[in-house]
Amino acid sequence: MTDPTDVAPSTTPTEPRSLVIDNIGSLITNDPETGRGPLGIVEDASVVIVGGVVEHVGPAGAVADVCIDADGACVLPGFVDSHTHLVFAGDRAQEFTARMAGQLYDGGGIRVTTEATRGTPTHELDRLVRQRLAEAHRAGTTTIEIKSGYGLNVVDEVRSVEIAQAHTTETTYLGAHLLPAEFAGRPDDYIHLVCNEMLDAAAPHSKWIDAFCEVGAFDVDQSRAVLEAGRAAGLGLRLHGNQLGHGPGVQLAVECGCASVDHCTYLTDRDIESLAGSDTVATFLPAADFSTRQPYADARRVIEAGATVALASNCNPGSSYTTSISFCIALAVREMNMTIDEAIQAVTIGGAAALQRTDVGRLAPGSAGHAVILDAPTHHHLAYRPGVPLIRRTIGPLGDVQLAC
Ligand code: NIG
């Protein structure tokens, strides 16, 4: 998902062909200057895209070289999935099954996936990533962040970010995901490796650095050391925090100026105040809470405090094996006290904010022409009809994907 979309290839090198999505019943632009309310809704609309960029939003009936007829359906910006762990081999269905029978999730299964990933050839890992990306794209995702974190040694972490880099600009080095078995009892030695030799080799392929700041993973000082080393290497900062219990993750993320702190399942009033007074986005991952039987975060409190929020899939084989942003929307609305409009914003401009992007997550003049056509008249159906494949067509960096109907 690296390049801007040009669904209509150029006839000449200088003049890209234009595309219109016409007869849109309800268009979400996320631009209050273009349409009504915070979602910038325009009814009976058309969007003209030239060279992968939105050129014009207006009434239905616009003309272009290529026309896609939305036939009265809702069209919204492609989803921005700001948190995934797509580079892995194997699955952990047995662990999930045991959890559904009462076992607790503690993140320890990361080592199982690390063993499987280390033992898988690069071409096969790349094939698995492509397969998951195609699945995500069919489900409406057009911008995606991909982390390493199942290599946990220099060779396999670098291999992971290299594979990610072949598919997205939003690559994250997560060497500090968990202490690998060979470093048992020597966490400081491992953190030294993560902050030095491993970082030097991974940084050229990474935009971001991340750490798992949680009891059982890395403590606040170890996580801070990783973030500071990443900053010194020129990487942007993100953090996993407050997933399995209250902890220092949110405070550390705000202190370090992270773009995003992800999970945020357990938040104190002080955490919420800190997020609201910062530029750090609170990214919720409700599919992980679903799959690990954690409580859901109360997003209402965070939104009302004034913090920016995002929702992401967290696709990984342990805590959240889904690429479905529609599923996350439905969970957020039903379980996290978000309105449908807030959930839609959280998976579009919220995800873009978590990645510090302004070119995606909107469908207004000048933004990327990444769009989702629903099999539904309004965006409300994404929460109202859970589990139903409502993404009729995704227009984005992987091309134009149409669900056979
Ligand atoms: O975001 N929390 C840490 N990392 C992943 C889980 C990884 C796994 O269990 O394999 C997460 O939930």
What are the tens digits of pLDDT across the range 289-314?
999 999 999 999 999 999 999 999 99
Residue minimizing CA distance to atom 1 of ligand 1: 314
Structure-token match 């309310």, residue found: 37
Closest-CA residue to 400 (of 81, 9, 2): 9
Ranges of each domain in the chain = 4-77+361-402, 80-354
Measured CA to CA, the distance from residue 74 to residue 87 in angstroms comes to 33
- pLDDT for residue 45: 98
113 touches ligand 1 (CB under 6 Å): yes
213 touches ligand 1 (CB under 6 Å): no
DSSP state of 315: B
Hey, which CATH number is domain 4-77+361-402, 2.30.40.10, 1.10.3720.10, 1.20.1260.10, 3.80.30.20?
2.30.40.10
Give distance in angstroms: CA of 136 to centre of ligand 1.
Answer: 18
288 touches ligand 1 (CB under 6 Å): yes
Residue minimizing CA distance to atom 12 of ligand 1: 319
**pTM tops 0.85:** yes
Residue minimizing CA distance to atom 6 of ligand 1: 319
Segments of the chain with pLDDT less than 50: 2-12, 404-405
141 touches ligand 1 (CB under 6 Å): no
- pLDDT for residue 335: 98
Tokens representing 269? 């009033």
Of all atoms in ligand 1, which is nearest to the CA of residue 243? 2
Give distance in angstroms: CA of 65 to centre of ligand 1.
Answer: 45
Output the average pLDDT for the chain: 95
- pLDDT for residue 17: 86
Using one digit for the tens of pLDDT, what is the confidence trace for 331-380?
A: 999 999 999 999 999 999 999 999 999 999 999 999 999 999 999 999 99
318 touches ligand 1 (CB under 6 Å): yes
Answer whether 354's CB lies under 8 Å from 281's CB.
yes
Tokens representing 253? 């993320």
- pLDDT for residue 397: 84
80-354 maps to CATH 3.20.20.140? yes
Closest-CA residue to 319 (of 89, 91, 81): 91
